[in-house]
Amino acid sequence: RTEPVTIGGVTLNNHLLLAAGVLGTTGASLSRVLACGAGGVVTKSIGPQPKDGHAGPCIALLDDGILNAMGLPNPSREFTGELSGLGSKPVIVSIFGGDPEEFAEVAGWFKGMAAGLELNLSCPHAEGYGASIGVNPDLVEKCTRAVSTLGMPTWVKLTPNVTDITAIGKAAERGGASAIVAVNTVKAMRISTALRRPVLGNRYGGLSGEAIFPVAVRCVYELYEACSLPIIGCGGISSADNVIEMMMAGACAVEIGSAVQKHDITVFETIKNDLYAKKGIDPAEIIGCAHG
Ligand code: RRO
C-alpha cells in the first residue's frame, strides 16, 4: 500500500489518476476504477448544455495510439446525479465552457460534490470551446480565475497544440490555478486509403497514447522550468518507466487514459506494483531531477 499524496489541493490515494474521457461517464465506472487501484479519477468533460457529440466514426484505434473526435458528448448538469454516491472519494470533475461565465456556472454545480475541478481548455476539435480558449493566454487566465475564485481546487488542462505552452501555463497560474495538467490530445488525422476519405466523421481529431508520449514529456519539462504550480503529466503513459520519466521531467502525478482504453483497468495495479514495489521508487526523490 502507498501513502496518500496531496497535489493541487486534492488528496489522492497514489500518484496515478484516470485521465478525463475514459470510463468517466458514470459514478459506477468511476468507483470501479478507484477500486482497481487508481489514486484518483477525472470524469468525462461536462459542459453548460447536454451534447450528443459528433457523428461517427468518432474513434480510431491506431498501432501506437488512439485518434478521437467524440465531440464533447455529455449530459451537462444531470451528471451531478452520478456523483451522489461517491462521497469523499478523490473524484475530479472535468468541465468546459465557451467563456468565463459558462465555466463559472458549470463549476458551481459541483461545489461540495467533487474533490476538485479540471478545466478543459484544450479539446483540439471543439468549435467555440477548448480549441479557441486554450491557445489564448488572456482567455485562459479569465476562465481560470472565474473558477478558482469559487474556492474549489482548480486544475487546468492544457493543449499541446500551441507554439509556447509556457505562456499558457503562466496564464493559468495568474488566474489562480492550483495545478496544471499537461497535456490533452494532439490535433491529428488519418485518411482511409480504401475509402479515400478521412477516417473520422469530423475529419480532424485528437491523438492520444504512446505516439504522443515524447510531446507530453517535452511539455511537462518546459512547464516545470516556467511555472511554480504542481504539474500532472498526461499523454501516452503506459508503464512504470513512463511514470518515472514524466516525474523526472517535473510531474508530481500522472493521468492515464489510452492505456486503460486499449488494455484494461488492471494497468493501475500493474504500474503501481512496478513503480513502488518492484522499482522502489520514491517520487519525492525524482520529481524534476532531469533539470540541470
Ligand atoms: O470529447 C472529445 O471529443 C474530446 C475532448 Br472533450 C477532449 O478534451 N479531448 C479529446 O481528445 N476529445
Mean per-residue pLDDT, 121-131: 72
Which residue ranges make up each domain of the chain? 5-286
Grid cell 456523483 in the structure block, residue: 83
Neighbouring C-beta atoms of residue 42, cutoff 10 Å: 32
β 191-192/197-198 pair status = antiparallel
Which residue is closest in CA terms to ligand 1's atom 11?
Answer: 206
Distance 277 CA to ligand 1 centre (A): 34
Q: Does the annotation mark 123 as catalytic?
A: yes
Residue type, 12: L
Mean per-residue pLDDT, 186-209: 97
Which atom number of ligand 1 is nearest to the Cα of residue 54? 3
Cβ–ligand 1 contact at 45 (below 6 Å): yes
Q: What is the DSSP string of 239-253?
A: SHHHHHHHHHHTEEE
Which atom number of ligand 1 is nearest to the Cα of residue 122? 8
pLDDT digits (tens, 9 = 90+) for 86-109: 989 999 999 999 999 999 999 999
Cβ–ligand 1 contact at 230 (below 6 Å): no
Distance 20 CA to ligand 1 centre (A): 9
Give 5-286's CATH code, choosing from 3.40.605.10, 2.60.40.420, 3.20.20.70, 3.50.7.10: 3.20.20.70
| Among 36, 58, 123, 227, the one annotated catalytic | 123
Distance 16 CA to ligand 1 centre (A): 20
Cβ–ligand 1 contact at 68 (below 6 Å): yes
pLDDT at 129 (0 to 100): 63
Mean per-residue pLDDT, 132-156: 96
Which cell is 60 given?
A: 480510431
User: Which residues contact residue 217 at a Cβ distance below 8 angstroms, ignoring those fewer than 6 apart?
Assistant: 233, 235, 245, 246, 249
β 16-18/251-256 pair status = parallel
Q: What angle do helix axes 137-148 and 165-174 make, rounded to 10 degrees?
A: 30
Distance 284 CA to ligand 1 centre (A): 31
pLDDT digits (tens, 9 = 90+) for 218-272: 999 999 999 999 999 999 999 999 999 999 999 999 999 999 998 789 999 999 9
Helix locations, the chain, DSSP H: 27-35, 80-83, 100-109, 130-133, 137-148, 165-174, 213-226, 240-249, 258-262, 267-272, 283-286
Mutating to test ligand 1, I would choose from 52, 123, 155 the residue with most ligand atoms within 8 A of its C-beta, which is: 123
Distance between CA 219 and CA 94 in Å, rounded? 20
Name the nearest CA neighbour of 206 among 17, 35, 65: 65
Average pLDDT, the chain: 95
Cβ–ligand 1 contact at 98 (below 6 Å): no
pLDDT at 253 (0 to 100): 98
Mutating to test ligand 1, I would choose from 22, 45, 67 the residue with most ligand atoms within 8 A of its C-beta, which is: 45
Contact 49, 77 (CB under 8 A): no
| More confident: 1 or 164 | 164
Distance 90 CA to ligand 1 centre (A): 22
Grid cell 470501479 in the structure block, residue: 32
Mapped onto helix, strand or coil, the DSSP state of residue 104 is helix
pLDDT at 132 (0 to 100): 80
Contact 268, 33 (CB under 8 A): yes
pLDDT at position 130 over 70: no
Q: What is the DSSP letter of 260?
A: H
Distance 54 CA to ligand 1 centre (A): 11
Q: Which residues pair with 11 in a beta bridge?
A: 6
Q: What is the DSSP letter of 185?
A: P
Contact 48, 99 (CB under 8 A): no
Neighbouring C-beta atoms of residue 85, cutoff 10 Å: 11
Which atom number of ligand 1 is nearest to the Cα of residue 73? 1
